[in-house]
Amino acid sequence: MRLEHIGVAVDAPDAAARTFRALLKATPYKTETVPDQGVRTHFLDAGAAKLELLEALGEDSPVRSFLEQRGEGVHHIAFSVPSLTATVEQLRAAGFELLSETPQNGADDKQIVFVHPKQTHGVLVEFCAPRTPDWSPRRIARPHGSVSAFVRGPEDAPPLVVLHGAVGSTRHETAPLIQRLESSFRVIGVDLSGHGDSALPDAPLTLDLFAADVCAVLDALDVPDAHVVGFSLGGGVALHLAATRPERVRRLAVLQTTVSWTEAQAAQMKQRLALDALEERAPARADRIRRRHTAPTPLLRRVRAFVDTLPAAAQALADGRLAVTAPTLVVAVDRDPLFPLDDALSLHRRVRTARLTVLPGTRHAFHALPLDALLPPLHTHLTASARIAS
């Protein structure tokens, strides 16, 4: 169990956000309406836990009566638990009265339950656990089978495509980023051909094929153009799409991506993608790969062959045969063991419309990205309206 967040009831969220920005240098990274609770929540990152600013919605909002009776202030403290069912049982057995019979839907993809404050010294205590969100894919037909897309967030929000890395998938890799972006964007997670839920074609995997996957998904959703965020291989696909189909890309962000592939890097990457060797070196990772993809063994074989084509593909961007004109945010971690910082600097130099953010990090893995540090610059980049002067 750990302290997850502190709920603070506020009269005017804008004014409260200004105050907390001055106080903590933190701005709300996510706003979400929770109809079940009669609130709109604004989350701030406050280090070890979050702050949840609570704005009353509707006449019978419990937060409205709290504000009327007691004014602004701390409303509840919330602890995260692995299983809400088990916690509810323990609380009932210990004689605690809960405010609802069963767990309710809360903000941030969580199920929540409150303990009556008369039994807890006037402190309203929430317990929360991750809800299994709806990650059922839409399957979009491609000549070789189907690709899967996971669409989340408001339909009228700006569309944003999120692309995973080599041998990654939306559900098992980029989902946490999607959840952090889905209140501001219509987020479209795409499982690239052969990855996750998407069919593996008989033909070789190429950047053109992956870029066409994205276009097929956008066509099926009737989205003419979108922001695109990609990690590693996904970043390479995003750059290729922006260079070859510029009309489909608004703004681009590439995370831990290189376009300066050397033969040595390609060899190193291929080593990471050899399932037999992984079996010995990292059995847990090998097992995850087997479970997460439709056809893991052929997928890895194809991705290794694909990696061989990358030094030549990178050359096309390097020598100007392919040019990216969309405003681009290049995000690197300072000690990426696979792509040295020089690669990010060189990408930043080559794309004339690029900005650069370097985050502290020592791993080449999506789940190791410090999302709390990534979100503010990413958000600023994607919501900026001005073109970056080239």
Q: Judged by CB, which is closer to Co ion: 42, or 164?
A: 42
Q: How far is the CB of 109 from Co ion (least distance, A)?
A: 13
Within the chain, where are the H helices?
A: 13-24, 62-70, 84-93, 175-181, 207-220, 233-244, 263-272, 275-281, 283-292, 296-308, 310-318, 341-350, 371-383
Q: Judged by CB, which is closer to Co ion: 20, or 185?
A: 20
Q: Judged by CB, which is closer to Co ion: 104, or 325?
A: 104
Q: How far is the CB of 112 from Co ion (least distance, A)?
A: 6
Q: How far is the CB of 78 from Co ion (least distance, A)?
A: 4
Q: How far is the CB of 175 from Co ion (least distance, A)?
A: 21
Q: Judged by CB, which is closer to Co ion: 52, or 55?
A: 52
- The alpha carbon of 10 is separated from its chain's Cα centroid by a whole number of angstroms, namely 28
- Quote the CA–CA distance of 275 and 287 in Å, as a whole number: 9
Question: Six-digit token pair at 103?
Answer: 């767990």
Q: Judged by CB, which is closer to Co ion: 49, or 373?
A: 49
- Quote the CA–CA distance of 260 and 263 in Å, as a whole number: 10
Going edge to edge, which strands form the sheet with 226-231? Answer: 138-142, 145-152, 186-191, 159-163, 226-231, 249-255, 328-333, 354-359
Q: How far is the CB of 115 from Co ion (least distance, A)?
A: 13
Q: Judged by CB, which is closer to Co ion: 78, or 162?
A: 78
Handedness of CA 277, 280, 283, 285 (dihedral sign): negative
Residues at the interface with Co ion (CB under 5 A): 7, 52, 78, 126
On whether the CB atoms of residues 193 and 201 are closer than 8 A, the answer is yes
According to DSSP, the β-strands at 145-152 and 138-142 are antiparallel
Q: How far is the CB of 49 from Co ion (least distance, A)?
A: 11
Q: How far is the CB of 123 from Co ion (least distance, A)?
A: 13
Q: How long a stretch of residues is the chain?
A: 390
Q: Judged by CB, which is closer to Co ion: 78, or 255?
A: 78
Q: How far is the CB of 126 from Co ion (least distance, A)?
A: 5
Q: How far is the CB of 110 from Co ion (least distance, A)?
A: 8
Query: What 3-state DSSP class applies to 82?
Result: coil
- Quote the CA–CA distance of 38 and 369 in Å, as a whole number: 34
Q: Judged by CB, which is closer to Co ion: 117, or 311?
A: 117
Q: Judged by CB, which is closer to Co ion: 7, or 194?
A: 7
On whether the CB atoms of residues 137 and 131 are closer than 8 A, the answer is no
Question: Six-digit token pair at 334?
Answer: 């300072």
- Quote the CA–CA distance of 192 and 294 in Å, as a whole number: 12
